[in-house]
Each structure stands twice: as structure tokens, then as C-alpha cells.
């Protein structure tokens, strides 16, 4: 972000009583996690209309796991190797300072929490919080346990 835009953003935030950050794939791209829509992203490899929901993903795995498993391993590998970047830490610091009320993110990578954000709403869930589709129990996994 050019300095002038950063200065303007800081002035706007300074006048706010409360703000919320909304983030998506671009936030974590700098951390090495490929986006879904950019060239070379997940949607270039698989059809989002087929696997874009949990039910669709389960059906696709049931039909052709051999084709999807390498794609899923690649995603898990990028999640395992990633770490919060300066943007994640900046948002956590703004929250700690009382400038941000929290973060709403589409990302499932847990990087906001790892950077120190405490109030994070994860629209699409969290890859490190696994829920059993049969019984609903939840289990947390650490980054290294993915592979």
C-alpha cells in the first residue's frame, strides 16, 4: 500500500470508535497459501461447483478420491508451512490497542489467531478445528499434525 493510502487509512481508523477488519485469501497469500481464484489457484484444478461445499467434497472424494487426494495434500502442505505475516500481526496489534473490535475472515488457516487476534469470526471454519460429520464432536489439531 502506498504511503499516502496508509496514512489516510490510519487517519480514518484514528477517528473510529470501533472497527472490524474483513479479510480473505489475499491476506494469507503472503504467507504462502495459494488463493482459490487467482491463476494457478484451487479452482483451476477442481470444479468449485463440484467440491465447493462439504457435501460436494464428500461426494467427490467418494467418486474419485485418487484425483482429489493430491490436491488436498497440496493444500494441507501449504497450511502446514505457513506462518502469520506482517498484516496478521498488524491487525492483532490494532485489536490489542482497542482500535479493532475483531476480524471477520474467509480464511481457514488460523493465522489471525496465531498472530494474536482474539476476536476472530471464521466464516468458512478453521482447518485446525475438525468436526466429525457423523457425531459433531470437535477436535483441534496443531499445524504439524496435518500431514
Q: Active-site positions?
A: 124
Q: What does the alpha-carbon distance between residue 130 and residue 26 come to, in Å, rounded to a whole number?
A: 24
CA–CA distance, 6 with 29 (Å, rounded to integer):
20
DSSP state of 82: -
C-alpha distance from residue 118 to each of 28, 94, 104, 144 (Å): 18, 11, 11, 22
Amino acid at each position: 500500500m502506498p504511503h499516502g493510502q496508509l496514512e489516510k487509512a490510519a487517519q480514518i481508523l484514528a477517528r473510529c470508535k470501533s472497527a472490524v477488519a474483513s479479510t480473505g485469501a489475499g491476506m494469507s497469500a503472503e504467507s504462502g497459501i495459494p488463493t482459490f481464484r487467482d491463476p494457478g489457484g484451487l479452482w483451476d484444478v477442481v470444479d468449485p461447483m463440484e467440491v465447493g461445499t462439504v457435501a460436494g467434497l464428500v461426494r467427490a472424494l467418494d467418486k474419485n478420491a485418487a484425483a482429489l487426494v493430491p490436491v488436498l495434500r497440496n493444500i494441507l502442505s501449504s497450511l502446514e508451512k505457513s506462518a502469520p505475516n506482517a498484516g496478521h500481526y498488524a491487525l492483532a496489534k490494532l485489536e490489542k490497542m482497542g482500535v479493532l473490535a475483531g476480524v471477520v475472515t474467509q480464511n481457514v488457516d488460523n493465522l489471525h489467531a496465531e498472530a494474536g487476534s482474539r476476536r476472530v469470526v471464521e466464516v468458512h471454519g478453521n482447518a485446525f478445528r475438525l468436526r466429525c460429520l457423523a457425531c459433531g464432536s470437535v477436535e483441534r489439531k496443531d499445524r504439524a499434525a496435518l500431514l
